[in-house]
Structure 1
Amino acid sequence: MIKIGLVDDQKYDLEKLNITLENESHLKIVFSTNNAEEAYKLIKENNIDLLITDIEMPDLSGYELADFIRSYGLGIKVIFVTAQSGYAVHAFELDVLDYIMKPFSKERLLRGINRLQQKKDKVDKTKLILKNKSEIFLIDKKNIVYIERTNRTTTIFTKEENYSTYQTLNELEEELSGSHFIRAHRGFIINIHYVKNFSLYTKNSYTVSFQGTKNTAIITKANLDKLQDRFYN
């Protein structure tokens, strides 16, 4: 799934982008706005893979949005969709994914987006891509013991060290699907390879103890039943 943000100050062009992409099953439009300053805030607040933006806009240009993304190492790719042909050289100095001229066809836009899908497919599936405000970490999934969400912070506990991120458990769960991780509780994801034992905590939950650490997690009785059915039956 590629998560996308859209920004174009022209209402018609923004609607065209939405209509073109909204029914593509491998794409998710996270936000769509005709205000570049609002897009700047939404980029910081949301986890997206790709920003599709016009270049010339009032108050804040697409160039400035792309430069912000690059300067802060957010790991977001950018596609410029513009009526102006004279900006291409400078655009690629910003390492944009594609530069598409208006009016564009659906096939042309999807071809640009597919470049990102190809890049994502090449990423080592044994790695978890972890983002925070200023850095991106590639963490070996096999070294993750458990993940905990506390208030608005998510902490990944590994064999070597811990990492904090603004990414939610739902987002990380999607990245870890198909491996030996389960959503144990609304606040925890655990790696069953490190589980030592379960101890009754309340009527409907258990504490989880792990090898190599005194830290514990929580698993609900319902999720423990699912775990037993999935791995131990």
Structure 2
Amino acid sequence: MIQAIIIDDEKRARLNLALLINEYCSDVTIIAECENLPEGVKAIRKNKPDLVFLDIEMPGHSGLELLDFFDENEVNFKIIFTTAYQEYAIQAFKFSAIDYLLKPINPNELVDSIARFTKEKEKYNNYAILRENLKQDRLKKIAVPSGNSLLFLETEKIIFIKGEGAYSEINCENNEKYLVSRNLKNFEDIICFNSIFVRTHKSYIVNTQFIRAYNKSDGGSLELKNGLQLPLSNEKLEIILEAIEIIKR
């Protein structure tokens, strides 16, 4: 059995989630329900759950502060965030490889989330990356993993990102390159929310501000301001030509 704790300041939200878990997730037992973060911390220390369902927006403390109360070796539980966040912030969850349930919670998504927990419960989650990416009103910077550290990269200085299987190479101004353990789809989900970035090819995301020209030869390619040529998918041509016209103006 998976032992779980719910932390949410809204009584109705706690009740609804508990009912859904009782009906759809027979392998999950709710061992405590808490209405604020300090209560949740006490319950975690006392009960040592496998899983915590954690609301982010609560009076007094953000759910993101939970891990501030624990040493790294004490974090033997996983978190599934329950949130009413929309749009940009949701992309931050995806990019950080953190599981979340969007309120009002859909039973099928709850079941899928528990299945992912069961399958990947030993997997390390980058809560620090999520916290940094959620701090911003918009993506002026992104936090990406690099070994045991976090890199904070200014999005306006990213020229393009090249996908290489499970990794991506971020190419920035001044010939700076960073290889990070995120595939290109992860970057597409978060960075293409900013309209200056376009997935131009199965292997590339490009900052349109660095595009100099579109070349029709050899099936079509993009010429960047640094002289580099990148391939362009036919279905992205119209979007790129539009971006180039905006730049010319």
TM tier, shorter chain? Answer: 0.5 to 0.7
Distance 2:190 2:129 in 1: 16
What pairs up with 1:8-23 in 2 under 5 angstroms?
8-9=2-3, 11-13=27-29, 17=53, 22-23=101-102
What pairs up with 1:115-194 in 2 under 5 angstroms?
120-122=134-136, 125-160=139-174, 161-176=176-191, 177-194=193-210
| Counterpart in the other structure of 2:121 | 39
- Partner of residue 232 from structure 2, selected from 212, 219, 226: 219
Alignment length (residue pairs):
156
Structure 1 residues 3-28: Cα deviation after superposition (integer angstroms, max 9, x where no partner): xxxx945632379948x774527998
Q: 1:26 to 1:196 in 2, by over 3 A?
A: farther
Amino acid at match of 1:155: E
- Indicate if the aligned counterparts of 2:157 and 2:172 stay in contact, CA closer than 8 A: yes
Amino acid at match of 1:24: K
Distance 1:148 1:142 in 2: 16
Structure 1 residues 148-170: Cα deviation after superposition (integer angstroms, max 9, x where no partner): 01233210100030011111222
Flag the structure with higher strand content.
1
- Indicate if the aligned counterparts of 1:33 and 1:39 stay in contact, CA closer than 8 A: no
- Indicate if the aligned counterparts of 2:197 and 2:206 stay in contact, CA closer than 8 A: yes
1:199 matches 2:206: no
Structure 1 residues 169-227: Cα deviation after superposition (integer angstroms, max 9, x where no partner): 2221232212311110111000111112222354xx42222112x43321112201122
Distance 1:31 1:37 in 2: 10
What pairs up with 1:51-130 in 2 under 5 angstroms?
75=128, 120-122=134-136, 125-130=139-144
Distance 1:13 1:230 in 2: 52
- Give the match's secondary structure for 2:220: strand
State the 1:134 CA deviation.
Answer: 2.1
Distance 1:12 1:190 in 2: 43
Flag the structure with higher helix content.
2
- Give the match's secondary structure for 1:190: strand
* 128-137 or 138-147: bigger deviation: 128-137
State the 1:127 CA deviation.
Answer: 0.5
Amino acid at match of 2:222: V
Q: CA RMSD in A?
A: 4.1
Distance 1:163 1:208 in 2: 22
Gapped runs of 5+ residues in structure 1? Answer: 1-6, 51-74, 78-115
- Indicate if the aligned counterparts of 2:208 and 2:244 stay in contact, CA closer than 8 A: no
- Indicate if the aligned counterparts of 2:211 and 2:244 stay in contact, CA closer than 8 A: no
- Give the match's secondary structure for 1:147: strand
| Counterpart in the other structure of 2:72 | none
Amino acid at match of 1:190: V
Amino acid at match of 2:228: N
